[in-house]
Amino acid sequence: MAKEYPLEIENIGEDVYVLMSRGHHDVHEFMRMVREEGYDWPLGMPKHIWMKTRPSRDPGYTCFYDHVPKGTRGAWPATHVQEAWGDESYESLRALATGESNG
């Protein structure tokens, strides 16, 4: 049986805006929560990927997240989004897909 993950937004970026939640969630529900939690950065279209947690020896980090192929031992599903601008932004791509104005 597949594990269920709650939709919980985590900020994992440093030099680039990057947000994720464990589990493959509906991308529009994910972005609604992102915006409700106050992240107003320019972000792209969320993607479903697989990640693996790697421990850190650096005292400034508890762990690192690695994007890995599905089926990698220890991998877990994630909904992931990162910084994007202009026509690549979530709002622009959604407006284009739905025929709405993004202005």
The domain total for the chain is 1
So what's the pLDDT on residue 30?
98
Q: How many Cα neighbours within 13 Å face the side chain of 4?
A: 1
Of the candidates 93, 78, 15, 3, the one whose C-alpha atom is nearest the C-alpha of residue 47 is: 78
pTM: 0.86
18: in domain: yes
Q: 3-58, pLDDT tens digit by residue?
A: 899 999 999 988 899 999 999 999 999 999 999 999 999 999 999 999 999 998 88
**Residue 87 clears pLDDT 80, i.e. is over it:** yes
3: in domain: no
So what's the pLDDT on residue 98?
81
So what's the pLDDT on residue 77?
98
Domain that includes residue 76, residue range: 10-98
